[in-house]
Amino acid sequence: MAQTEQLAKLIKQSSNAVFFGGAGVSTESGIPDFRSEKGLYSAQEVYGYPPEKLLSYSLFLEQPELFFRYYKENLITTAKPNPAHFALAELESQGRLSAVITQNIDGLHQVAGSKNVFELHGTNHRHYCMKCRTEYPLEYTLGFDVIPICEKCGGIVRPDVVMYEEQLNNKVISAAIRAIEGADLLIVGGTSLAVYPAAGLLDYFTDDNLVLINKGTTNRDTRAQLIINEPIGEVMRAVMEVLK
Ligand code: ZN
């Protein structure tokens, strides 16, 4: 594929590449996109609300049982990193990639070995007590039937993810913006760039070297230097072969 060779060339020439990824990066690990048509349908069918409501802060406060049920059954998985995650971790260790910015909460980039990861929507690997702020790992929360309770104070232990109606973490956003502003190559994968405000981050990239890897079209196709409409795992695996 000539496109993967082109991408490999751009990565070689770059001195500060950054990756920005969306749900499509995780779906190749078998994690369903809850914003997909199927995800929307099953949320409504099984839980009586769309995902935006089930994952909202107001529903969390009013019906925590329902929130945790949906969350546990749909956002906690035993999925493993796919070739895209491993390729990005490898590129970082080779000094070819400076940061990964992700909209996913599954922590799979770190599992694959990436170190500098900005998780715009938080992570399901971290939890904390809403009363005393004690932090707990994912494993602790799995020991509860529905609502995880703090062993120190009895407060509710919530996931460190950004729920609908909540603000994104300012520190994470600022760091992501700095990474994008400083990049000379931005590789965007697995997102149609439809979800704001995360998608607006792309406006901070002023260089020409924008690469879009997505199965469908995106909002920024006209700005891209290179567009690859193939599964990102295959694309990145092929790129790593060229870079060997
Ligand atoms: Zn507590």
Ligand 1 center to 159 CA (angstroms): 13
Q: Quote the pLDDT of residue 218.
A: 83
What pLDDT band is residue 76 in, cutting at 50, 70 and 90? confident
Domains, the chain, in order of start with CATH, read 3-30+80-121+168-243 (3.40.50.1220), 40-74 (no CATH)
pLDDT in tens, 224-236: 999 999 999 999 9
- Can you tell me the distance from the alpha carbon of 41 to that of 157, in angstroms, rounded to the nearest whole number? 28
Ligand 1 center to 130 CA (angstroms): 7
Using DSSP, state whether 119 is helix, strand or coil. strand
Lowest mean pLDDT segment, chosen from 33-37, 185-189, 201-205: 33-37
Using DSSP, state whether 149 is helix, strand or coil. strand
Ligand 1 center to 175 CA (angstroms): 29
Report the predicted TM-score, pTM, of the whole model to 2 decimal places: 0.93
Q: Which residues carry out catalysis?
A: 121
Whether 122 shows a pLDDT value over 70: the answer reads yes
Residues 6+ apart with CB under 8 A from 96: 11, 12, 14, 17, 243
